[in-house]
Amino acid sequence: MIKVEGLSKTYKNNNKEIYALKNINIEIKKGEIFGIIGLSGAGKSTLIRCLNRLEEPTNGKIFIDGKEITNLNNTDLRETRKDIGMIFQHFNLLSSKNVYQNIAFPLELEGLKKDEIDKRINTLLEYVDLEDKKFAYPSQLSGGQKQRVAIARSLANNPKILLSDEGTSALDPKTTKSILELLNKIRKEFGLTIVLITHQMEVIKDICDRVAIIEDGEIIELNTVEEIFANPKTKTATEFISTLKINTQEEINYQRKSGSKILRLSFVGENAKKPIVSKMVKQFDIDVNILSGNINELISTSIGNLVLEISGEDNQIEKAIDWLRKENIRLEVI
């Protein structure tokens, strides 16, 4: 659906070239929700804006449905953009127009007749659960309602792709969850491909199939969300994941008993719901003290994290660790 090859973006500052993006290579599948996460200034907004050429790449190629869009003229680019909807952090609604008029705007540009526009808007308002706000103005709406209007507007022309530029960053956690549920519903029912950027790992966890982590303009890690959570390869990935866990510094500073070991365990899928600790205690002559734990529900599976202190004879501790590994439990001795 979307293919990015060798994409770079540079800016000039005092005759110096500053890289915003460096040699980005990504393939995004049809119907996938693909996340791009990074800290402020990492290049994620530049990347997503290059996908519809709101930003012009310096080098590289972008393909949409097999068509290279980096060499399209303005007329052909406008035609291609009809297949690409976009939502923004601050909604970008026209304050002087009501909900109906905001959603109607792209349809009017297409030259649709009024009865066609009415029918389409009524359908979209029902879909985003805002029928009663049809003639309200943006100033009369909550943040979540504004974003629902923006989503309805982005769907007006029946796009194949939806780009979300920090689409939930201005919302509270409860509203964020409802917007993510709506985006997932859109993906499932319309088959849209969704690309979203965020600095919130909670968003990635709740909705994405795969994620790319961007740092200093480069993709430093790209994998399924499940694999990133279970086996992060970079320090940045680990730090993002740690924002979803309770503070592990206390675990590291914990004054363990003499001869004991502290383990951090990661459980994937069904393993996250099995009584692993109970089985281990019964099978080996060891004592276990649970220091912390949580389970993160991803869109396709569960990832459990548990920090334990185990004490006993050295050979029993080693046998318990070997057993955990044979049970496909990923572990780290802290």
Q: Pinpoint the alpha helices (H) of 208-313.
A: 225-230, 235-242, 249-253, 276-283
Q: Pinpoint the alpha helices (H) of 141-273.
A: 143-155, 173-190, 201-207, 225-230, 235-242, 249-253
37 within 8 A of 44, measured Cβ to Cβ: yes
Tell me the domain boundaries of the chain. Answer: 2-232, 249-333
- Please determine, for residue 247, whether its predicted confidence score (pLDDT) is greater than 60: no
Q: What is the pLDDT of residue 13?
A: 83
26-30, 94-98, 265-269: range with lowest mean pLDDT: 265-269
Tell me which architecture the domain covering 2-232 has in CATH: 3-Layer(aba) Sandwich (3.40)
- Please determine, for residue 30, whether its predicted confidence score (pLDDT) is greater than 90: yes
**Positions of E strands within the chain:** 2-13, 16-28, 33-37, 59-64, 67-68, 84-88, 161-165, 193-198, 210-215, 218-224, 261-268, 286-297, 302-312, 330-333
Give me the count of residues in the chain: 334
Tokens 């459980």, residue?
Answer: 267
pLDDT (tens digit per residue) in 227-245: 888 888 899 998 888 777 5
- Please determine, for residue 48, whether its predicted confidence score (pLDDT) is greater than 90: yes
Distance CA(98)–CA(111), nearest Å, equals 20
- Please determine, for residue 326, whether its predicted confidence score (pLDDT) is greater than 90: no
The CA dihedral of 189, 149, 163, 203, to the nearest 10 degrees, is -80
CATH fold for the domain made of 249-333 = Alpha-Beta Plaits (3.30.70)
Q: Residue 250 — very low, low, confident or very high, per pLDDT cuts 50/70/90?
A: very low
8-17, 52-61, 141-150: range with lowest mean pLDDT: 8-17
Q: What is the pLDDT of residue 299?
A: 66
Burial of 180 (0-12, 13-18, 19+ CB in 10 A): buried
Q: What is the DSSP letter of 109?
A: H
Exposure string for 159-170, b = 16+ CB within 10 A, e = fewer:
bbbbbbbbbbbb
Q: Specify the pTM.
A: 0.76
- Please determine, for residue 300, whether its predicted confidence score (pLDDT) is greater than 80: no
Tell me the β-bridge partners of 59: 8
- Please determine, for residue 282, whether its predicted confidence score (pLDDT) is greater than 60: yes
- Please determine, for residue 249, whether its predicted confidence score (pLDDT) is greater than 50: no
Distance CA(323)–CA(279), nearest Å, equals 10
Q: What is the pLDDT of residue 147?
A: 93
- Please determine, for residue 296, whether its predicted confidence score (pLDDT) is greater than 90: no
Q: What is the pLDDT of residue 253?
A: 52
- Please determine, for residue 133, whether its predicted confidence score (pLDDT) is greater than 90: yes
The mean per-residue pLDDT over the stretch 27-50 comes to: 93
Burial of 206 (0-12, 13-18, 19+ CB in 10 A): buried
- Please determine, for residue 258, whether its predicted confidence score (pLDDT) is greater than 90: no
